[in-house]
């Protein structure tokens, strides 16, 4: 019986020590506890309306995150992708160019930052079935991957800002920029 359906998972907020730890490698992807954590993360990100969530954000310091891009109130122009578990991720190659884009975070509510990210990355990870994957990611999907990988390394998007001038309240962001992106 899946108990994930009716359970809420509190998201660690900026300042919680779990968000500043380097997460540990997942040893056995197929273990029940790992699969249960994946299910919990899928539920938590769906419940919170995010496009990604890292295990440390639900208080588990392991190298795992979910990417689940979809248009929503927070990211109306997000591309649609199936929810994907990314385990023990690494970036093999970065493009030399970076693009600034607005990011928010479930652990940093009501703030947005204009964050520079590599526009194209080559990544390697293990999927939910224990298979090794290698992909080239671009644009918004590459941004999500880099954002979530930061969480596994004890960083938030705020650590990637070039200036505090690139930080804005989400209320102000919606007033200034949301209508431009629609």
Active site members: 148
Backbone phi, then psi, for 63, in 5-degree steps? -85, 80
What are 114's strand-pairing partners?
A: 102
Token pair in block for residue 162 = 């070039």
The sign one gets for the Cα dihedral 16, 53, 162, 136 is: positive
Number of Cβ within 10 Å of residue 170's Cβ equals 16
Q: Where are the beta strands (DSSP E) in 4-156?
A: 52-54, 64-67, 84-94, 98-105, 108-118, 120-126, 132-138
93 is in an annotated binding site: no
Distance CA 45, CA 163 (A): 28
105 is in an annotated binding site: yes
68 is in an annotated binding site: no
Residue 60: partners with Cβ closer than 8 Å, 6 or more residues away: 37
List the binding residues for Fe cation. 105, 147, 151
List the binding residues. 105, 147, 151
């Amino acid at each position: 019986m899946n108990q994930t359906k009716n359970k809420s998972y509190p998201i660690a907020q900026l300042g919680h020590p779990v968000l500043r730890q380097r997460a540990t490698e997942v040893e056995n992807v197929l273990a029940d506890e790992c699969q249960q954590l994946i299910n919990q993360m899928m539920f938590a990100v769906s419940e919170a309306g995010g496009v990604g969530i890292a295990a440390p954000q639900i208080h588990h310091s392991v190298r795992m995150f979910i990417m689940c891009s979809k248009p929503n109130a927070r990211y109306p122009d997000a591309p649609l992708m199936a929810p994907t578990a990314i385990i023990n991720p690494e970036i093999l190659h970065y493009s030399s160019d970076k693009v600034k884009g607005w990011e928010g975070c479930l652990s940093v509510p009501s703030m947005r930052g204009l964050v520079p990210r590599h526009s194209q990355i080559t990544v390697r990870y293990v999927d939910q079935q224990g298979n090794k994957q290698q992909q080239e990611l671009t644009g918004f999907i590459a941004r999500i991957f880099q954002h979530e990988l930061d969480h596994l390394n004890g960083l938030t998007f705020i650590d990637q800002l070039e200036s505090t001038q690139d930080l804005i309240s989400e209320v102000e962001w919606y007033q200034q920029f949301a209508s431009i992106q629609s």
